């Protein structure tokens, strides 16, 4: 999308605090994500890459938008319900207000289009509602963003529990493929992936395990589903898993090589993040200043 749009890619470390983190590991992981973004093809000369906490406007706007978001709206969020089950010992208010911070992430930059997985569509609808509510109350201020969901691969499912989405924060690493997984690990995870008791390789949403593997193969080989089904006609599930592993390893190989190069150059990462914070911060504070003026805050007297 960076060839068609002015794109901003965030590492959302504020959101990550809804789960308890080990500080030293947390810092390393955030830098790792930046390197993975670049290794996957995001060009920091063409797009903006920034860490969320480097731009204070995110937290500031989230508070203001929170005063305009209703409890009933947040209680209806399915992700909060799911996360509350997963983290019963840590059901914090951040989990509950997570969608408000997400709305701030989007509205700060006057985003026209937001690419999301299907599981985030509900949050985007709430963002649109909040933007429209603010605009109606205080006059036109925010762009009301459109949801962009790709036609294929919008929701990749768990390898072991294919009725649930694949998540990098899953407690069971067998449920997901990480960008930095070694070829052996990728192959083992896919060989153990849940399918069903059938034998015919056909895309059918009522067979979620098989449908998930076929979707990944289709996206990673850039082939439509009919062509994928034709390719695997008369073959067994094992053939699909082996071929998918081979394809995935080849796709990940240049990403992992580039990632290792980037991670050895901390100066480059720091430069990317400084540039990103400056660029994103300038845009964010422009919006925040407008919002503060609209709600009636007294502007600071800066000497």
Write down the catalytic residue from 28, 121, 164, 165. Answer: 165
Q: In the chain, count of helices (H) and strands (E)?
A: 12, 4
Cβ within 8 Å of residue 195, ≥6 positions away: 207, 209, 210, 213, 237
Both structure tokens of 104: 């701030």
Q: Which residues touch 217 (CB under 8 Å, ≥6 apart)? A: 223, 228, 240, 243, 244, 247
State the Rg of the chain over Cα: 21
Establish whether 253 is a catalytic residue. no
CA distances from 117 to 7, 238, 251 (A): 17, 28, 21
* Residue among 168, 227, 253, 257 flagged as catalytic: 168
Q: Is 165 marked active-site?
A: yes
Asked whether 96 and 72 are in contact (CB, 8 A), the reply is: no
Q: For residue 212, give both structure tokens.
A: 């998930």
Residues 248 and 216 sit within 8 Å (Cβ to Cβ): yes
Verify whether residue 81 is a known catalytic residue.
no
Taking the CB of residue 53, how many other CB atoms lie within 10 A of it?
A: 18
Catalytic residues: 83, 165, 168
């Amino acid at each position: 999308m960076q060839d068609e749009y002015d794109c901003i890619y965030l590492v959302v470390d504020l959101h990550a605090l809804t789960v308890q983190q080990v500080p030293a590991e947390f810092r390393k992981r955030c830098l790792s994500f930046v390197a993975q973004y670049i290794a996957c093809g995001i060009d920091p000369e063409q797009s903006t890459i920034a860490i969320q906490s480097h731009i204070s406007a995110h937290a500031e706007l989230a508070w203001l938008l929170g005063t305009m978001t209703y409890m009933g709206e947040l209680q209806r969020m399915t992700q909060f319900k799911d996360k509350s089950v997963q983290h019963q010992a840590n059901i914090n208010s951040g989990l509950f207000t997570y969608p408000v911070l997400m709305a701030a992430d989007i509205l700060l930059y006057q985003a026209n289009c937001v690419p999301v997985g299907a599981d985030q569509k509900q949050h985007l609808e709430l963002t649109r509602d909040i933007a429209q509510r603010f605009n109606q109350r205080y006059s036109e201020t925010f762009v009301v963003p459109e949801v962009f969901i790709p036609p294929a691969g919008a929701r990749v499912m768990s390898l072991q529990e294919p009725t649930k989405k694949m998540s990098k924060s899953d407690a069971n690493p067998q449920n997901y493929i990480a960008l930095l997984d070694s070829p052996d690990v990728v192959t083992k995870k896919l060989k153990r992936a849940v399918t069903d008791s059938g034998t015919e390789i056909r895309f059918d949403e009522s067979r979620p395990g098989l449908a998930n593997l076929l979707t990944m193969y289709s996206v990673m080989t850039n082939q439509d589903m009919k062509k994928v089904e034709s390719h695997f006609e008369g073959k067994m599930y094992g053939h699909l898993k082996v071929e998918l592993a081979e394809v995935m390893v080849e796709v990940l190989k240049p990403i992992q090589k580039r990632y290792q190069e980037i991670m050895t150059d901390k100066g480059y990462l720091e430069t990317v993040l400084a540039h990103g914070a400056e660029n994103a911060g300038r845009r964010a504070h422009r919006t925040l200043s407008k919002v503060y003026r609209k709600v009636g805050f007294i502007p600071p007297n800066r000497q």
